[in-house]
Amino acid sequence: MWLFLSTEILLFGVLFVGFGLCQAKWPEEFKEAHHHLDKRLGAFNTIVLLVSSFTMVMAVWSASKSKQKQLITYLIITILCAVAFLGVKYFEYEHKIHDGLLPGQFFTYLPNTDPMAKGQSVFFAFYFMMTGLHGFHILGGIGVLCWVLKDSIKGRFDASYYTPVDLVGLYWHIVDLIWIYLFPLMYLIS
Partner 1 sequence: MSAQAHAHAHDEAHGHGGFTYYLVILLALLFLTVVTVGASYFDFGSANLVIAVFIASIKASLVALFFMHLKDDKPINGILLVSCFMFLGLLLTFCLLDVDNRNPDTPSNKAKFTPQGPPSMGVNQTATDKLPPPNKGTAPAGEGHGDTRPPSAH
**Hey, what's the torsion of the CAs at 137, 89, 92, 129, to 10 degrees?**
0
CA distance 122 to 128: 10
Asked if residue 112 binds partner 1 (CB under 8 A), the reply is no
Should residue 11 be labelled a site residue for partner 1 when binding is judged by CB under 8 A? no
Question: Between residue 68 and residue 87, which ones bind partner 1 under the rule CB under 8 A?
Answer: 68-70, 72
Secondary structure letter of residue 108 according to DSSP: -
Judged by CB under 8 A, which stretch of 12-20, 88-96, 103-111, 128-136 contacts partner 1? Answer: 12-20
Binding mask 42-61 for partner 1 (x = CB under 8 A): -x--xx--xx-xx-xxx--x
CB of 135 to partner 1, least distance (A): 19
CA angle (123, 17, 99) in 5-degree steps: 15
The kind and range of the H/E element at 89 are helix 68-98
CA angle 147, 152, 154 (to 5 degrees): 100
Where along the sequence are the contacts to partner 1 (CB under 8 A)?
2-3, 5-6, 9-10, 13-14, 16-17, 20-21, 24-29, 39, 43, 46-47, 50-51, 53-54, 56-58, 61, 64-70, 72, 115-116, 153-155, 169-170, 173-174, 176-177, 180-181, 183-185, 187-190
